[in-house]
Structure 1
Amino acid sequence: MEVAEVQKQYIRELLIKGRKIEAIKYLRTNFDLTLRDAKRLAELIDEDIADDEYIKRPGPFSGGGVAILTIVFGLVGVIMLGVAIHLYTSNRSFVREAEQTVAIVVSNPSQPVFEYEINGQTYTYYSNVESDPPSYSMGEEVPIYVNPSNPNDVLINTFMDRWFLISLLGGMGVIFLGVSMLVFFAARAR
């Protein structure tokens, strides 16, 4: 089998540009070679190419855009997970040391005001969470945790007050970190 100089040069250019698969396909179709023989011939031609002749195509991380995006997504994910873990641990330690009691909604169910009693003294807690429609109704009893050393320090024992922010930040953190890792490994596989 004889390869003309023009054909060899074309194959060489494909290899220099990093298009080895196209070079093998060209050899198979134009010279009726098996895949193994076409690959072997392409590798022989490739051996004659000096390292400095190869055209270095910019990889997905060389331009900076994808790399920066991957790093930013990863950092945002790690920060969100860190905040979620911090909230969970501080929430857990607060509940461990707190006294559990029942508070009663005394006004404005959409941004409720709670009254509760600790050691025979009545306290008022103004919720900073507002909802429409209201989450509570007037006179509703709600379980709460109260810091015994500071009875004004309260944690309402509902999903929205205890777990919603932790779940949201943790879930978003996992998603951001997952996307970052997927993009990173997909870019490396190329």
Structure 2
Amino acid sequence: MHNGRPLTLIGAIFALVGLILLGVTLALAASTASFLASAQRTEGTVTGLTPRTTTSRDSDGYTRRSTTWYPTVEFTVDGRRYSFQSSTGNNPPAYRQGEGVPVAYDPDDPSDARISTFWSAYLAPVITGGLGVVFASIGTIVFVLGRRSAKR
């Protein structure tokens, strides 16, 4: 019988998506680790919080708004001031204006800087890795069930 073919195909697609996400995770983690390994460290100060509001409509037709706060950080290297906005935002805000934060920056280009905490540095790889594990696991299980069903 051909009852297992759709399950096998769906499982294979899920597993493939999971493997792609795990590959993206490795690339993101390697890039971040490489940056942090060669980066210089200093202390910065949160000089502002920029809100970004997204609007979505749920299945009931209600509009939902969510605001995420992105810190702007200023730091000094060799007497020169640099400023950057973090690519990681939070709701509620993870930092307060005036708060000190660890900063990692490229010594050849101090304008290339990031907040040097685990979550700021590795949030993207953690998310893609988690999704990759879920997709690959579900895909593998569904694939195996489909193959077994096809053999019957």
Higher helix share: 1
Match of 1:80 among 17, 21, 24: 21
Over aligned residue pairs, what C-alpha RMSD do you find? Answer: 1.6
1:6-25 matches, within 5 Å, as none
CA distance in 1, matches of 2:2, 2:87: 51
Partner residue, 2:33: 92
- How far apart are 1:59 and its partner, in Å? 4.0
Counterpart CA distance in 2 for 1:188 and 1:130 is 43
Q: Which has the higher contact order (CA 8 A, sep 6+)?
A: 2
Query: What is the aligned-residue identity percentage?
Result: 31
* CA 1:131–1:100: 2 relative to 1, 3 Å: same
Q: Are 2:64 and 1:105 equivalent residues in the alignment? A: no
Alignment of 1:11-160 (within 5 A): 57-61=1-5, 65-108=6-49, 110-160=69-119
Identify the structure with the greater strand proportion: 2
**Is residue 20–residue 132 contact of structure 2 (8 Å, CA) maintained in 1?**
yes
TM-score with structure 1 setting the length? 0.64
| Counterpart Cα distance in 2 of 1:119 and 1:148 | 11
Gaps of 5+ in 2: 51-68
Q: Determine if the alignment matches structure 1 residue 186 to structure 2 residue 145.
A: yes
Q: Quote the Cα distance in structure 2 between the aligned partners of 1:71 and 1:184.
A: 6
Q: What is the DSSP-based 3-state SS (H/G/I as helix, E as strand, rest coil) of the residue aligned with 1:112?
A: strand
Alpha carbons 2:8, 2:145 under 8 Å: kept: no
Q: How many residues align?
A: 131
CA contact (8 A) 2:86 2:114 kept: no
Give the partner amino acid of 1:77.
G
**Greater C-alpha Rg:** 1
Runs of 4+ in 1 over 4 A off after TM superposition: none
Note if contact 2:74-2:84 (Cα within 8 Å) is conserved in structure 1: yes
Q: What do residues 39-81 of structure 1 show as CA deviations (whole Å, max 9, x unaligned)?
A: xxxxxxxxxxxxxxxxxx22401xxx32331222012101110
Q: Deviations over 1:9-46 (max 9, x none)?
A: xxxxxxxxxxxxxxxxxxxxxxxxxxxxxxxxxxxxxx
Distance 1:155 1:101 in 2: 11
Name the CA distance, whole Å, in 1 between partners of 2:89 and 2:21: 23
